[in-house]
A and B are shown apart, each in its own frame.
Chain A
Amino acid sequence: NAGVTQTPKFQVLKTGQSMTLQCAQDMNHEYMSWYRQDPGMGLRLIHYSVGAGITDQGEVPNGYNVSRSTTEDFPLRLLSAAPSQTSVYFCASRRQGGNNQPQHFGDGTRLSIL
């Protein structure tokens, strides 16, 4: 009964380093998404995917790449980390069919860029 699993839970990077945040779900959900949460900003959508092989940009996609090779996994890549990317990152998944489907969130990855 794992749900949405994010790894790592915490990470500190230096400016310019690259990193991949992992997200896996075991509910066979077609729709997956990444959000970032900043103090006083709520959650903002970075990228989303409606199924394997299909991704699209959200509100704040710059500096991030995603791919969706399997239904289960939706990794988020930072190619060259910047201090502005210090944030808490949440992955979410739900079944296809729109927002009437319950959305499941992971516990988050807390990322600091020095």
Chain B
Amino acid sequence: AQSVTQPDIHITVSEGASLELRCNYSYGATPYLFWYVQSPGQGLQLLLKYFSGDTLVQGIKGFEAEFKRSQSSFNLRKPSVHWSDAAEYFCAVGTGGGADGLTFGKGTHLIIQP
């Protein structure tokens, strides 16, 4: 069965600074990888996804993520954070067939300091 680890429960970053959120996955085949963002009281919004091809994927809101098979990682990055980026971020993995849904990490809570 697949699993996802997000090692950082909370991360605090100053506004304008760069950001990297870590995600490690465990899956036997080529995974389908996702990053979602959840603002307080809201549902989940897809930031970006990786299925195959170029290992550096671009998403919405200026986010990008890099798939590294050798490290089983899919870290999320942003060069300069804005106060509006404060939210909960979830990494998720799924099978290609997808019938059994997505497996989510426990989330990383991002705090932006002025």
Per-position binary interface string of chain A over residues 84-110, scored 1 when its CB falls under 8 Å from any chain B CB and 0 otherwise: 000000100010011111110111100
A107 & B102 in contact (Cβ 8 Å cutoff): no
Decide if the interface of chain B is mainly helix, strand, loop or mixed.
Answer: loop
Q: Considering the complex, give the chain B residue whose CB is closest to the CB of A45.
A: B101
Min C-beta distance of B47 to chain A, whole Å: 12
Tally B residues with Cβ within 8 Å of A. 27
Tell me, yes or no, whether A53 is within 8 Å of chain B by CB. Answer: no
Tally A residues with Cβ within 8 Å of B. 27
Q: Which of A4, A44, A94, A105 gathers the greatest number of chain B CB atoms within 10 Å?
A: A105
* Chain B interfacial positions (CB closer than 8 Å to A): 4, 9, 32, 34, 41-46, 51, 90, 92, 94-107
* Chain A interfacial positions (CB closer than 8 Å to B): 4, 31, 33, 35, 40-45, 48, 50, 56, 58, 90, 94, 97-103, 105-108
